[in-house]
Structure 1
Amino acid sequence: MEVKLTAAGPHATSTTWSLPEVRNITQNRLLLHLFFWTVYVVFFGLLYGSYIDDYYNAFMVELVELPFKMALVYFNMYYLMPHYLLQKRYLEFFVYLLLLMGAIGALMQFVLLPFLIHPLFCPTTCTEDNLTFYRFVKNIVNINYVVAITAVIALLKNWYSHQQAARNLTQDKLEAELKVLKAQIHPHFLFNTLNSLYALTLKKADTAPEVVLKLSSLMDYMLYEANAAQVPLQKELEYIKNYIALERMRYGNRVEVRYTEVGNVAGRHIAPMLLLPFVENAFKHGVSTETTNAWVRIEVKVTGTQLTLLVENCKCGDRASNSTRDMASGIGLKNLQRRLELLYEGRYELEMEDEPESYAARLVLDLGEY
């Protein structure tokens, strides 16, 4: 016999539980129930024993009444509550519960007390007054203690289970959305890089083999390392540098590219493929036309746990006037903002400046502790 459960979380995998593991959980559950009833008997035995100054009889009475109380408690927890209370059928629940408590109370009052408890445990202290209606009501109130305690425990457990299920469902939804967003980035990047390689091969450029080597390195990172939730910031920046090197080979002296990096990136981690769209957009829409005055500036600054990325590009040529188009739709700005909201909610600032002659994007990110 095997029970398959799927665990939720960032690194969740399908887990198979064998019969011994299920048995251990069941045993632990039985131990918890045994512990509860032991505590209950001890507490009320001591309480009533101190009241009548007879601990032996108090404990014996609690033990004799215990099976009836347990039957009422478990019937309430596993039948009445799931079928009526949790289904919001409140009136039916309380009517059935009161009828059941009355039946158990009557059984204890008019059967157990006169024929078992009275003759065996308290022949001198128990009197005929114990068979009055007042005593019957008092017994119902006594039963109500354990029913109320166990009902509260069951409701808290049910609430906690629903909260956990809701959190797991939300987490699964976020992870699925992140996978979709990352899946959009990968083919988009590959398509643009292959276009660059195609342009070089048309010109029979000597740098084409080097482009293939760089592209191979980028593909290795994109297909294998970028599948992790977090990657070292140093590797992410090396990935961007390789991409910049590819674009330098493609444009040659027609585009002035300046990349600066300040601060210590060692030990810092970041979500993969998060910074590339800024750089890619600068080349694709800012300097993709034939021009001799194009420029791209990329600045990376790390201060403590804070990363600042500034990407600026000129608007050179007619096509560059639409430099914000890709960042405003598709896998551009909307994709980036959604990933930032999912991964760094409340820990990032994103600013865009669209000037007549230039375009700039500035991202401030709190990397926190990995």
Structure 2
Amino acid sequence: MKANLFNINRKYFWMELGFIFFISFAISLISDLEYSVYEEHNIAKFSNDFGYRLVTESLELICYAIFYWGFLKVYVFRRSLIGVVLCSFAFVIFNRVFDKYVTNWVLIHSDLISLAFRKRALEELVNPRIFFTFNYPLISTIFPLTGLAFLVRSFTQDQDMKALKEQQLVSELNYLKTQLHPHFFFNTINNIYALALKQSTQTAPMVVRLGEMMRYILYEADQPTVSLSRELAFLSDYIEVEKIRYQQHIHIGFDVQGVRPEYRIEPLLLLPFIENAFKHGLEEEIQNGFVNIVICQTEEDLTLQVSNSKPQTVKAKESAGIGIKNVCKRLDILYPGRYQLKNNETPEMYEVALILPNA
């Protein structure tokens, strides 16, 4: 964590300034007020010292601010114990010298100060007697400001860790997407290859559809979100490609209900479930197979329901493909604990339902 000279974080500036103002003004004023009441038994005498305190504590505020932002906070952020000790020791010496010479000089030339206080300041400036005491500065200034610096550093570290975790999640999402793209193209090119071997007249239309899908994946799917209408257009192209592939002997249904086109969704989030239905539901089916896809949006959620027939001749059960594994990881990142994924299997059908919250 970098800490440069005069380490001022805008996010915590006003909190730090308020704390420094408090130990500069409030503590001294409260102390003077108590002294006037309990020792001199005359609260009116407190007002006699007000101008004096205003000038001296304003100068103290400047010293404390320079000490805190220029030195103490820098060493705390660098985790330098020696630096904290040395700058605190230097502060005690500097503060006493500053108080005897600079503060008294300002008091002498200030119209806010009564004649008695100005006379006393002149005597101290002409005949300065400097005594270095460490107990009071430690308790009243150094320890509180050191604690403040550690508190701000803790807040900053938490913020940095949160930003790092978010960056890691974004990197993981992008990695999962890059895995999905070649997987999708591999499957689609296999479909085109199968049609080309049959010298089908549908090969050219499928290539056109694939071009549209590639354009979407290459130029739009790298965005964090896309409009639901654009995602549905992509899914429609994909389903049309599958219809061309399977011709008339397979029933393919695609129904969209109540969706809000402006709704934003992570691109390519629904595709793996639809792709999986075609891959495992129709590849071994010769007749009477089906894939039904319903996308429905309500006020509370967006639901994808995909059902597909189970072929009479089934290959040995395969583990979940890369597309399903990736999309489940993406869902965990995007909707942690807020999405529902339900599977239902019968001897004739396999069904999956994905429910995403609208917000």
Instruction: State the TM-score, normalizing by the size of structure 2.
Output: 0.73
Alpha-carbon distance in structure 2 between the residues aligned to 1:335 and 1:179: 11
Aligned to 2:173: 178
CA distance change for structure 1 residues 221 and 61 in 2, over 3 Å: closer, same or farther?
A: closer
- Deviation, structure 1 residue 183: 0.5
* In structure 1, distance between residues paired with 2:257 and 2:312: 32
The letter of the residue matching 1:365 is L
Deviations 1:85-135 (A, max 9, x none): 97495xx799768866765687689999999999983657999xxx9xxx9
Q: Secondary structure at the residue paired with 1:253?
A: coil
**Alpha-carbon distance, 1:293 to partner:** 2.2
Partner of 1:237: 232
* CA distance 1:77–1:220, change in 2 (3 Å): closer
Match of 1:364 among 348, 352, 355: 355
- Residue of structure 2 in register with 1:279 after alignment: 274
Letter in 1 for 2:348: E
**Residue 355 (structure 1) aligned with residue 350 (structure 2):** no
Query: Aligned runs of 1:312-351 on 2, under 5 Å?
Result: 312-319=307-314, 322=317, 325=319, 328-332=320-324, 334-351=325-342
* Aligned partner of 1:302 among 287, 297, 302: 297
Return closer, same or farther for 1:246/1:194 CA change in 2, 3 Å cut-off: same
Identify the residue that residue 218 of structure 2 maps to in structure 1: 223
1:188 deviates by: 0.6
Change (3 A) 1:365 1:108: closer
Report the 3-state secondary structure (helix = DSSP H, G, I; strand = E; otherwise coil) of the residue aligned with 2:247.
helix
Deviation at 1:168, TM superposition (A): 1.4
> What are structure 2's unaligned runs of at least 5 residues?
34-44, 109-114
Q: TM-score, normalised by structure 1?
A: 0.71
Cα distance between partner residues in 2 of 1:293 and 1:186: 31
**CA-CA distance at 1:337 after TM superposition:** 1.5
Q: Distance in 2 between matches of 1:117 and 1:209?
A: 92
Aligned partner of 1:366: which letter?
P
Contact 2:72 2:84 in 1 (8 A): no
Matches of 1:306 and 1:116, distance apart in 2:
68
Which amino acid in the other structure matches residue 203 of structure 2? A
Superposed displacement of residue 141, structure 1:
2.9
1:26-37 alignment runs, 5 A limit = none
- Quickly say closer, same or farther: Cα 1:97–1:317, change in 2 above 3 A: same
Q: Which amino acid aligns with 2:195?
A: L
Q: Distance in 2 between matches of 1:95 and 1:244?
A: 70
Question: Aligned in 2, Cα 1:267/1:41: closer, same or farther, shift over 3 Å?
Answer: same
Deviation at 1:147, TM superposition (A): 3.2
Whole-angstrom distance in 1 between the partners of 2:149 and 2:283: 65
Query: In 2, distance between residues paired with 1:189 and 1:46?
Result: 73
Aligned: 1:197 with 2:188: no
Q: Which residue, out of 230, 241, 253, partners 1:258?
A: 253
- Percent identity of paired positions between Structure 1 and Structure 2: 28
Equivalents in 2 of 1:220, 1:96: separation in Å?
Answer: 63
Q: Distance in 2 between matches of 1:261 and 1:115?
A: 82
- Distance in 1, matches of 2:254 and 2:245, equals 17
Q: What is the CA-CA distance between 1:45 and the residue it aligns to?
A: 7.5
- Offset, 1:345: 2.1
SS in 1 for 2:322: coil
- Consecutive unaligned residues in structure 1, runs of 5 or more: 6-24
2:117 equivalent to 1:121: yes
Q: Distance in 1 between matches of 2:236 and 2:216?
A: 13
The verdict on how the C-alpha distance between 1:321 and 1:283 changes in structure 2, with shifts beyond 3 A counting, is farther
Is the 8 Å Cα contact of residues 311 and 362 (structure 1) preserved in structure 2? yes
Cα deviations by residue, 1:188-242 (Å, 9 ceiling, x for unpaired)? 1111111111111111111111111111111111111111111111121121111
Q: d(CA) in 2 for partners of 1:126 and 1:140?
A: 27
Is 1:258–1:296's contact at 8 Å kept on the other side of the alignment? Answer: yes
Which one-letter code corresponds to 2:117 in the other structure? Answer: F
Q: Which residue is 2:39 aligned to?
A: none
What SS does the corresponding residue of 1:181 show, helix, strand or coil? Answer: helix
| Cα distance, 1:176 vs structure 2 | 0.4
Conservation of the 8 A alpha-carbon contact between 1:306 and 1:367: yes
1:299-348 residue CA offsets vs partner (Å, 9 max, x unmatched): 111112411111111121434563x63xx25332x211111111122331
Q: Which amino acid is 1:335 matched to?
A: N
Q: Which moved more, 1:341-350 or 1:153-162?
A: 153-162
| Number of aligned residue pairs | 329
Change (3 A) 1:140 1:185: same
Residues 353/75 of structure 1: CA separation in 2 closer, same or farther (3 Å cut):
same
Cα pair 2:344 2:352 within 8 Å, conserved: yes
C-alpha distance in structure 2 between counterparts of 1:176 and 1:117, whole Å: 60
